[in-house]
Structure 1
Amino acid sequence: MHGPFNRGPRQKPMGEINVVPFIDVMLVLLVIFMITAPMLTQGVDVDLPQVTSEPIQDMEDTEPVVVSVDSQGQYFISLGDGETPLSLDEISDKVIIILERKPSTPVLVRGDRNVPYGQIVELMSTLQIAGVPNVGLISEPPPSDG
């Protein structure tokens, strides 16, 4: 009988999931992350000294404050507010505010290898006067020969 409710032979339900749209979305996300990953590195262009040293192990879970000195002797602080040069007094004020909020925040110095030693010492002295108990120095490992 062929009535209005008879639709012909019933099809068996499909037991597989179509994963093609999922793969398409994942490939698009992969391309987006591959393009944006190199742009995530930010900061001041500093030619760090190359020395062999052990990495700091007790950094806990806190993000360190990094104070940079570029090759022209200008000071910068990594707070996510761009790369505008600051004076030593402005850096001291910002570090004091950060340490009041979270006293265990580590403070590190990135000094260009061409900056006079006295300027780095002056920065470290200013940071210690601001209340930083220990100032760390950032360097690069020397290039490997092999």
Structure 2
Amino acid sequence: MAFSSNSATGAPMADINVTPLVDVMLVLLIIFMVTAPILSYPIDIDLPQRSVTPPPDTTPPEPIKLRIDASGQVFWNESPTPMSALRNMMESEVERDPNNQPTLEIDTNDDADYGVLAKVLATARNANMQKIGFVKK
């Protein structure tokens, strides 16, 4: 018999068979129970601590404008500077106030040699300059 019938009225039953639905839901529940502990590993983060005293109000120093032209000449605040003197100048700027360093703004010509820029960046890193930016025209 394809349909079961209601014994009192003789009409077919219109109830939904929920057994397959329960089976699928149990399988999904088991899958989520197995994968949930994998997703709950603790992540160590260092949150900032509340301080009683506010940090001192320091104004940032004037940025250093470093320009490299097409011929590879380096200009420190619009004055020509040899590459050999560049590290000493950067170190003296860092030594003034290591916690409040000026920003080194590097502007390069499109035709400048990349090797000169790489030397300038290596010199800035070796002088412990922390704020380095590039100027886009």
TM-score normalised according to structure 2 size: 0.51
May I ask how many residue pairs the two structures share in their alignment?
77
Within 5 A, what are the aligned runs for 1:8-87?
61-78=60-77, 83=79, 85-87=80-82
Q: Unpaired segments of 5 or more residues in structure 1?
A: 1-59, 141-146
**SS in structure 2 at match of 1:120:** helix
Which segments of structure 1 move beyond 2 Å, counting only runs of 4 or more? none
Structure number with greater CO (CA < 8 Å, separation at least 6) is 1
- Partners of 1:108 and 1:89 lie apart in 2 by 19
TM-score normalised according to structure 1 size: 0.48
- Give the conservation status (yes or no) of the 8 Å contact 2:70–2:113: no
User: Percent identity at matched positions?
Assistant: 19
- Partners of 1:102 and 1:114 lie apart in 2 by 35
Could you say which structure has the larger radius of gyration?
Answer: 2
Task: Tell me how far 1:118 sits from its aligned partner.
Answer: 2.1
1:131–1:86 distance in 2 versus 1, CA, 3 Å: same
- Partners of 2:125 and 2:83 lie apart in 1 by 12
- Give the conservation status (yes or no) of the 8 Å contact 2:106–2:132: yes
**SS in structure 2 at match of 1:136:** strand
